[in-house]
Amino acid sequence: MSIFSTLEGVSSTVFSNIFIQLPYPEGDLSGQTVIVTGSNQGLGFEASRHLLRLGVEKLIMAVRNLKKGEAARQELLQSTSREESSVEVWPLDMDSYVSVKSFASRAAALPRLDVLLANAGLIANTFTVSEEDERTITVNVVSTFLLVALLVPKLQESASKFNITPRITIPNSALHYIASLEQLDPQNEGGIFESLNNKEATNMAGRYPLSKLLVLFGVRAFADQFAQSKAPLVIINTPNPSFCKSQLARETDNVGLRVGEKLLARSTEMGSRALVHAVMADEKSNGQYLTNCHIHSPSCIVTNGKGVLIQEAFFKELVTKLEKIAPGVTSAQSSSLGLSRKNQDV
């Protein structure tokens, strides 16, 4: 990482949290069906409250714990005075590929799908393997894009049937500015994912920023593919809600993080406004990193020549991995996903 990227990430967060109030979400989402993962607490919960207030016809709360999800559902219904039928709680464990595939199969039977707000994520303190990768990478990156790929056909079907432009929103972080590129070198033996799974070479303190950098690469790559596809456009973007009070760091014992949260963090409700803005953003937001409800330049790590090469290599590996997890998700549905032959021939 460069000192300039680090300074930009830190300064933008401090400035945003002290001086900028995000606009209160306004608009009309009547008739829409929206999925929000990780919606029983934190940013996902507050974003869900806004979405219901704006008239979403059906909110699917995708949660790991159904009991906690149902409690959150009741609180949302009470605070928004919406009817019982407007909110459903479905099980989704981003630690499990089987769970992700089962959830997507159920979602495919929905009458329509307008929005996927893929909010679920974690910061892990220790190196543990989930499925075939380090857990942060599995949850924040692989399972997230697996869910995206599995739901794209439904989103595009809805686009054609209801004349809409569906959205996929994956929250990001200014911490991507400080991510190390050491394990992302395409020349590393075995490739990027194998390098990320090298426990001895992994600094877990930097793993969450790295996962958000990979999300940026993935969003930009998917956006390129969607734009090239002949299928109806699906907008995919990645907003930064900035440093917020939430349950994201529930698994870490980082004292500095907890102190910083008390002193500097935005309220969860304030941060959720950035997610709702992204969900409602126009085509200009496709493939973009958003900060303070505006398109913002990501780290130069993302946009420079080296970043372009890393993105290409990462996306090729990701497509291969997704095809292995769910055979046919990319090759058989390539016309829907818009995946180019270059990205399939890996």
Mapped to the 3 state alphabet, what secondary structure does 252-303 carry?
Answer: CCCHHHHHHHHHHCECHHHHHHHHHHHHCCCHHHCCCEEECCEECCCCHHHH
Q: Read off the pLDDT of each residue in 320-342 and give the average, rounded to a whole number.
A: 72
Q: Report pLDDT for 261.
A: 54
Residue 121, helix vs strand vs coil: coil
Q: Report pLDDT for 18.
A: 58
Residue 341 within any structural domain of the chain: no
Rounded distance between C-alpha atoms, residue 25 and residue 270, angstroms: 10
Residue 340 within any structural domain of the chain: no
Q: Report pLDDT for 296.
A: 95
% residues pLDDT > 90 (the chain):
80
Rounded distance between C-alpha atoms, residue 327 and residue 220, angstroms: 23
Which carries the bigger pLDDT value, residue 255 or residue 201? 201
Q: Report pLDDT for 248.
A: 55
Domain encompassing residue 219: 3-325
Q: Residue 153: which CATH number?
A: 3.40.50.720
Residue 134: phi and psi, rounded to 5, are: -55, 140
Find tokens 């907890």 and name the residue.
258
Predicted confidence (pLDDT) per residue in 60-97, tens digit: 999 999 999 999 999 999 999 999 999 999 999 999 99
Q: Report pLDDT for 344.
A: 47
> What is the Cα Rg of the chain in Å?
19
Residues with a known catalytic role: 208, 212
Residue 330 within any structural domain of the chain: no
User: Quick check: 55 pLDDT over 80?
Assistant: yes
Report which of 57, 49, 48 is spatially closest to residue 30, judged by C-alpha positions: 57
Write the CA distances from 284 to 24, 69, 237, 296, 303, integer angstroms: 21, 34, 10, 12, 17
Report which of 321, 239, 213 is spatially closest to residue 43, judged by C-alpha positions: 239
Rounded distance between C-alpha atoms, residue 29 and residue 207, angstroms: 36
Predicted confidence (pLDDT) per residue in 90-143, tens digit: 999 999 999 999 999 999 999 999 999 999 999 999 999 999 999 999 999 999
Give strand pairing partners of 77: none
Rounded distance between C-alpha atoms, residue 292 and residue 242, angstroms: 8
Residues in the chain: 346
Residue 53 within any structural domain of the chain: yes
Rounded distance between C-alpha atoms, residue 45 and residue 73, angstroms: 9
Q: Report pLDDT for 345.
A: 44
pTM: 0.90
Max CA separation in the chain (angstroms): 56
Q: How confident is the model at residue 188 (pLDDT cuts 50, 70, 90)?
A: confident
Rounded distance between C-alpha atoms, residue 118 and residue 168, angstroms: 7
> Picking from 46-50, 97-101, 245-249, which range would have the lowest pLDDT averaged per residue?
245-249
Residue 342 within any structural domain of the chain: no
Write the secondary structure of 7-56 as one string of H (helix), E (strand) and C (coil). HHHHHHHHHHHHHCCCCCCCCCCECCEEEEECCCCHHHHHHHHHHHHCCE
> Picking from 53-57, 120-124, 137-141, 334-338, which range would have the lowest pLDDT averaged per residue?
334-338
Specify the DSSP element, H or E, that contains 100: helix 97-107
Domain count, the chain: 1
% residues pLDDT > 70 (the chain):
84
Q: Report pLDDT for 15.
A: 53
Q: Read off the pLDDT of each residue in 309-313 and give the average, rounded to a whole number.
A: 97
Q: Report pLDDT for 287.
A: 98
User: Quick check: 145 pLDDT over 50?
Assistant: yes
Residue 310 within any structural domain of the chain: yes
Find tokens 């590929």 and name the residue.
97
- Taking residue 280's Cβ as centre, other Cβ atoms within 10 Å add up to 19
Q: How confident is the model at residue 332 (pLDDT cuts 50, 70, 90)?
A: very low
DSSP state of 91: E
Q: How confident is the model at residue 242 (pLDDT cuts 50, 70, 90)?
A: confident
Mean pLDDT of the chain: 89
Residue 18 within any structural domain of the chain: yes
Residue 199 within any structural domain of the chain: yes
Contact between 53 and 87 under an 8 Å Cβ cutoff? The reply is: no
Predicted confidence (pLDDT) per residue in 200-237, tens digit: 999 999 999 999 999 999 999 999 999 998 999 999 99
Q: Read off the pLDDT of each residue in 262-266 and give the average, rounded to a whole number.
A: 67
Write the secondary structure of 218-229 as one string of H (helix), E (strand) and C (coil). HHHHHHHHHHHC
